[in-house]
């Protein structure tokens, strides 16, 4: 639509004959394509492809205006640097409101359609316990994702007709096939905590063989919708069947090579910033420039992580404590470099030494690892892979410093461990850059 708006603007501005000349002989299609790429990049920066962020219509329109405005400013700078790419002022003036009108109309229409109760994929949840409610809650928080919960089916007749969260229990597992036909179900999500003797195996098998409905395991569905692994749904079998084989090891070697290459170039390009940071840290407060701290790495092996010092030299004279978002131990320079993630630059050296990867679970201190491992199940599984400078949990969960925050972040770390790939690493890196540019996070 953005591309089409630019082409329409050419015809509206120049007329039929001149438009053909402009588009065919002056590489107009190439210029329009370049402008479209600028717009798509700014849409990504403003989270316009995120269902969770974009559920509010006013926020949607505001961000569209901001994104297109930024794209046009960037294009103006590009045209100034490379005049041969210029579209023409008259074309730009027409194309901008035309593209905005098309995008707002399209987005609002699609979000209305996806959020309408009569449209979308109808979901039946098998189960009526806490796991089933947890799956339903995540779907209800994403109305624009296109899921509609028809209801629950359980094993307890006393729950029939009762509301568990918002949808009701509309049947028993013994009547599963009849409920599926009556409610015109598209997908069944199995979310039962205790399945022995309760799972309607025969009915599910019959529906699966008939091919009339999609059937999905609750933990997998939850993982796909939320981007994290639920600790309450995880089973030992998940760890067994997710073990790393030969293909995963080959992929791991490729990832390690790419991560070290990125760290090398990152260290070279960030050297001027690092030198300036080292000077201002020394000028502001006494103490070392770098901060070394023991962390737990891959397979539980300890290593010393390096950072630029962002706190007072005596910050932990009373013993190890979690850093908080607005920690009063942070220096004035420290607040800035922590906000911009400049304090993490020395960790490029940890990556080059093979102690860390660019992407992975953030390394934690041994003192806290032993504490969290006692309170959170499967916590030590996050050490199956090398820790990272950034990670899936860092871009998906806000800064936190408590056991509950660690529990939530572990769910994202386990998701990354299960699904790690170079493509996912690239997504995390781009999201990290976006977070730094917009000053989000800690």
Please tell me the number of Cα atoms within 13 Å of 43 on its side-chain side: 19
pLDDT, tens only, 399-411: 776 788 889 999 9
Q: What is the mean pLDDT of the chain?
A: 85
Q: Count the Cβ atoms, other than its own, within 10 Å of residue 180.
A: 22
**Rounded-to-integer distance, Cα 224 and Cα 209, Å:** 24
Read out DSSP for 123-155? Answer: EEEE--SHHHHHHHHHHHT-GGG-EEEEEEEES
Residues 359-382 have pLDDT tens digits of 999 999 998 898 899 989 889 889
Residues 259, 183, single domain; the answer is no
Choose the final residue of a domain: 95, 115, 135.
115
Per-residue pLDDT for 273 more than 80? yes
**Same structural domain for residues 138 and 203?**
yes
Q: In 3D, which of 62, 101, 63, 93 has the Cα closest to residue 76?
A: 93
Residue 237 lies in a domain: no
CA distance 146 to 117: 9
In a domain, 290, yes or no: yes
Say what the pLDDT of residue 367 is.
Answer: 86
Contact in structure between 195 and 186 (CB atoms under 8 Å): no
DSSP state of 372: H
Last residue of one domain, picked from the residues 115, 135, 154: 115
Would you place residue 53 in the very low, low, confident or very high pLDDT band (cuts 50, 70, 90)? low
Q: If we measure between CA atoms, which residue out of 225, 231, 268, 250 comes closest to residue 130?
A: 231
Taking the CB of residue 276, how many other CB atoms lie within 10 A of it? 11
Q: Is the pLDDT of residue 216 over 70?
A: yes
Judge whether 343 lies within some domain.
yes
89-137: pLDDT as tens digits: 788 888 888 998 998 888 888 877 877 777 788 999 999 888 999 999 9
3-class SS at 361?
coil
- Whether residue 60 is contained in a domain is answered as yes
Is residue 200 domain-shared with residue 290, that is, in the same domain? no
- Condensed to tens digits (0 to 9), the pLDDT of residues 336-347 reads 888 888 999 999
Same domain? 349 vs 212 = no
Domain endpoint, select from 195, 226, 257: 226
Q: What is the mean pLDDT of residues 49-60?
A: 71
Q: What is the dihedral of CA 360, 361, 363, 364, to 10 degrees?
A: 180
Burial (CB count <10 Å: 0-12, 13-18, 19+), residue 343? buried
CATH number at residue 144: 3.40.50.720
Q: Is 220 in the same domain as 291?
A: no
Phi, psi angles (nearest 5°) of residue 88: 110, 135
For residues 51 and 187, membership in a common domain is answered with: no
CA distance linking residue 187 with residue 147, whole number of Å: 10
Regarding whether 153 and 49 lie in a shared domain, the answer is: no
Q: Is 67 a domain residue?
A: yes
182 inside domain: yes
- 190 & 307 share domain: no
Q: Are residues 149 and 48 in the same domain?
A: no
Asked whether residue 235 is domain-assigned, the answer is no
Hunting for tokens 């004035």 — which residue is that?
Answer: 332
Domain limits for position 42: 2-115
Closest Cα partner for 386 from 410, 359, 349?
359
Same domain for 208 and 253, yes or no, is: no
CB 106 within 8 A of CB 1: yes
Band of residue 54 on the pLDDT scale cut at 50, 70, 90: low
3-class secondary structure, 188: strand
- Both 320 and 396 in one domain: the answer is yes
Residue 17, domain member (yes or no): yes
Together in a domain, 289 and 199: no
Structural domain count, the chain: 3
The answer to pTM > 0.85 is no
What the block records as the tokens of 5 is 């708006």
């Amino acid at each position: 639509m953005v591309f089409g708006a630019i082409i329409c603007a050419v015809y509206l501005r120049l007329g039929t004959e001149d438009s053909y000349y402009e588009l065919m002989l002056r590489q107009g299609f190439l210029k329009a394509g370049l402008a479209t790429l600028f717009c798509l990049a700014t849409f990504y920066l403003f989270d316009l492809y995120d269902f969770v962020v974009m559920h509010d219509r006013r926020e949607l329109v505001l961000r569209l205006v901001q994104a297109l405005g930024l794209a046009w400013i960037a294009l103006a700078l590009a045209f100034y640097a490379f005049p041969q790419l210029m579209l023409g002022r008259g074309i730009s003036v027409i194309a901008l409101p035309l593209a905005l009108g098309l995008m707002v109309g399209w987005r609002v229409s699609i979000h209305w359609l996806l959020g309408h109760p009569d449209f979308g994929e109808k979901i039946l949840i098998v189960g009526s316990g806490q796991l089933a409610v947890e799956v339903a809650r995540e779907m209800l928080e994403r109305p624009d994702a296109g899921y509609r919960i028809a209801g629950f089916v359980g094993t307890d007749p006393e729950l029939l007709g009762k509301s568990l969260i918002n949808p009701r229990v509309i049947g028993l597992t013994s009547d599963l096939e009849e409920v599926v036909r009556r409610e015109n179900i598209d997908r069944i999500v199995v979310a039962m905590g205790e399945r022995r003797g309760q799972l309607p195996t025969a009915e599910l098998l019959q529906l699966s063989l008939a091919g009339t409905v999609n059937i999905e395991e609750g933990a997998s569905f939850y993982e796909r919708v939320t981007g994290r692994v639920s600790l309450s749904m995880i089973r030992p079998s998940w760890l067994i069947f997710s073990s790393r084989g030969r293909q995963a090891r080959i992929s791991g070697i490729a990832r390690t090579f790419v991560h070290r290459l990125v760290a090398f170039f990152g260290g070279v390009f960030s050297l001027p910033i690092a030198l300036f940071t080292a000077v201002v840290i020394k000028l502001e407060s006494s103490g070392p420039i770098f901060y070394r701290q023991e962390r737990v790495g891959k397979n539980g092996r300890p290593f010393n992580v390096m950072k630029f010092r962002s706190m007072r030299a005596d910050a932990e004279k009373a013993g190890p404590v979690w850093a908080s978002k607005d920690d009063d131990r942070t220096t004035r320079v420290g607040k800035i470099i922590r906000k911009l993630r400049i304090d993490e630059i020395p960790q490029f050296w940890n990556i080059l030494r093979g102690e860390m990867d660019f992407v992975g679970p953030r390394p934690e201190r041994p003192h806290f690892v032993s504490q969290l491992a006692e309170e959170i199940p499967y916590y030590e599984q996050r050490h199956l892979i090398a820790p990272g400078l950034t990670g899936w949990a860092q871009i998906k969960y806000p800064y936190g410093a408590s056991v509950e925050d660690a529990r939530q972040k572990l769910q994202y770390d386990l998701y990354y461990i299960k699904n790690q790939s170079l493509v996912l690493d690239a997504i995390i890196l781009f999201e990290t850059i976006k977070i730094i540019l917009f000053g989000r996070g800690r």
